Amino acid sequence: MDFSLSAPLRELQHLTRRFIADEIVPMERDPRQSPHGPSDALRHELVAKGRRAGLLSPHVGPRFGGMGLDHRAKAIVFEEAGYSPLGPLALNIAAPDEGNMHLLEAVASPAQQERWLRPLAAGETRSCFCMTEPAPGAGSDPGMLQTTAVRDGEHFVIDGRKWFITGADGAAFAIIMARLPDGRATMFLADMDSPGITIERTMDTLDSCFPGGHGVVRFDGLRVPASGILGELGEGFKYAQVRLSPARLTHCMRWLGAARRAHDTALAYARSRHAFGKPLGQHEAVGFGLADNEMDLHVARLAIWHTAWVLDQGQLGLTESSMCKVIASEAIWRVVDRCVQFLGGQGVTGETIVAKIFADVRAFRIYDGPSEVHRWSLAKRILKGVAPE
């Protein structure tokens, strides 16, 4: 594995870094942000900036207006975008849209791609992915899926309830996971203004970086034509892995940039703030913590790059993405938590960006599978002797 950056990729890294620093960071205190995320007006303004910079939807193929970057190139660009909470929105690579674009490009029919993927890749619309359900439905165990889809002539009638649906409020369409009467899971596409879809409420959560927040969505007799089936009937769980394996990795990429931002902020403070006769950073408790930050950032980046390399070899990389997700999410959490500590009182206020990063990043150890579930899955593979070398 060659981790060196080619000249074009290094140029793209510098271009993205300058764009985030010059165009996006100054917008971080824009008042069009709420506990449930940036407003759509702010998102559209950010997208316009990304489009003018030639950086919009770099993960999507050129056919749909993107740059068609491979996973290793995405690792560089997504980290730079994640340096600001608004960066992924400006590049149109924020969750859940980024993962949904990947899934639609890989699985959707040409007609579905024109109807739903093209405007999504252009940053004109948002989307949501409806998988997680309240108890006793699907959560960490997708096999507990309760939402049903029953054929009625040329339509399927969907009934059920979902929650923690990121971006539901304001989304143009949804990808819905439901089970057929024979128990097989299937994905369906539906416009969010369709009769039978109700957003019950938006949940109050620690994070505030996703437009539309996290919603509770109910399906009451939602009629979806057969043309709204995403992929093949009964293949929903397979397609979920097509989406989730790279989506876990891109989460790691973006949050690595956020952790680097927190570290840079704490480092500047440790150099300038004096206590007990010298700069904070010269006290071993802080200096050693900064060193631990550098090591955690380094290990997380190597895990991301290695997993990106595996995916670029054409492998699904489920085990690698699980390991990377745990390694990166926990390393990133340690970095940001230390930064709060180093900043003292400022670390728990809005005086710096770190408190927001802290609140946003905590959920990363839960999103796309809690660390405990990934460890459990890896342990089963280890005991069977099928863990990667």
Look at domain 7-94 and name its CATH class.
mainly alpha
pLDDT digits (tens, 9 = 90+) for 45-91: 999 999 999 999 999 999 999 999 999 999 999 999 999 999 999 99
Amino acid code (one letter) for 254: R
* pLDDT per residue as tens, the chain (389 positions): 677 899 999 999 999 999 999 999 999 999 999 999 999 999 999 999 999 999 999 999 999 999 999 999 999 999 999 999 999 999 999 999 999 999 999 999 999 999 999 999 999 999 999 999 999 999 989 999 999 999 999 999 999 999 999 999 999 999 999 999 999 999 999 999 999 999 999 999 999 999 999 999 999 999 999 999 999 999 999 999 999 888 999 999 999 999 999 999 999 999 999 999 999 999 999 999 999 999 999 999 999 999 999 999 988 778 899 999 999 999 999 999 999 999 999 999 999 999 999 999 999 999 888 999 999 999 999 999 875 64
CA distance 355 to 341: 11
The 3-class secondary structure across 124-136, one letter per residue, is CCCEEEECCCCCC
Q: What is the dihedral of CA 304, 24, 19, 74, to 10 degrees?
A: 20
What distance in Å separates the CA atoms of residue 113 and residue 140, rounded to the nearest whole number?
29
- For 123, 146, 179, 188, the CA distances from 93, given in Å and listed in that order, are 9, 30, 29, 22
- In the chain, CATH 2.40.110.10 covers 127-233
- Return d(Cα 80, Cα 74) in angstroms, integer: 10
The segment(s) of the chain belonging to CATH 1.10.540.10 are: 7-94
Q: Collect all residues with Cβ–Cβ distance below 8 Å to 39 and sequence separation of at least 6.
A: 32, 33, 211
| Pairwise CA distance, residues 231 & 99, whole Å | 16
CA distances from 187 to 48, 149, 251 (A): 31, 10, 22
What pLDDT is recorded for position 118? Answer: 98
> For 127-233, CATH number?
2.40.110.10
Into which CATH architecture does domain 237-384 fall? Up-down Bundle (1.20)
222 HSE (CA, 13 A, CB side)? 29
Percentage of the residues of the chain whose pLDDT score is greater than 70: 99
**pLDDT, tens digit, 9 for 90 and up, residues 105-145:** 999 999 999 999 999 999 999 999 999 999 999 998 999 99
Would you say 340 and 357 are in contact if contact means Cβ atoms under 8 Å apart?
A: no
Residue 218 β-bridge partners: 161, 198
Q: What is the pTM of this model?
A: 0.95
Structure tokens at 147: 């939402």
Domain with CATH 1.20.140.10 in the chain: 237-384
| Nearest-5° Cα angle at 49, 48 to 55 | 100
